[in-house]
Amino acid sequence: MYFHTGNCEYILFEALYTTKVGHIVAASIVMFCLAMLYEGLKYGREVLVQKTLSQNKYITTTLPAANSQENMIIQTRQAVAAQMLSCGHFIQTLLHMLQVFISYCLMLVFMTYNVWLCLAIILGAGAGYFIFGWRRAVIVDVNEHCH
């Protein structure tokens, strides 16, 4: 395995085989856009989480003295179940799956060791971070999959 500057490359699928310089340029543009989309998706998911958390309403209740611990556990389970089955959590799950898919696709394309594709991914991630990253509240994301 070594970095190379060739223009003949399989990109994720057997049918996506570049044979000309124009093909590798087009593939590089697509990878640039995909890397930017990945950064935008991370920002978009964070915005959705912040929106969801700001909409949560916290209600304080007074529990009866007898069995107060048991009542608290039951109420907590009901609240967790309601949040897990919410539309917002379902959308977050789908977006997370898309983010994982894109990140692994970018990693596999990078592993072709084609300099042009690798450069396109790095520049796309940089451009995406430049556009979206300054708005993010969390700089270090524990959900990062590829870096």
35-52 pLDDT tens trace: 999 999 999 998 888 887
pLDDT of residue 87: 84
The C-alpha atoms of residue 110 and residue 117 are separated, in whole angstroms, by 7
| Domain coordinates in residue numbering, the chain | 9-52+70-135
Query: Using an 8 Å Cβ cutoff, are 116 and 28 in contact?
Result: yes
Rg (alpha carbons) of the chain, rounded to whole number: 22
User: Is the pTM above the cut of 0.95?
Assistant: no
The C-alpha atoms of residue 24 and residue 10 are separated, in whole angstroms, by 10
Q: Each residue of 69-128: pLDDT tens digit?
A: 555 555 555 555 556 778 888 999 999 999 999 999 999 999 999 999 999 999 999 999
Residue 77's nearest CA partner among 89, 87, 85, 65 is 85
pLDDT at 146 over 60: no
Question: 6: how many CB neighbours lie within 10 A of its CB?
Answer: 12
The C-alpha atoms of residue 49 and residue 99 are separated, in whole angstroms, by 15
Q: What is the mean pLDDT of residues 127-137?
A: 85
Residue 45's nearest CA partner among 123, 118, 145 is 145
User: Amino acid identity, residue 76?
Assistant: T
- 29 by DSSP, 3-state: which? helix
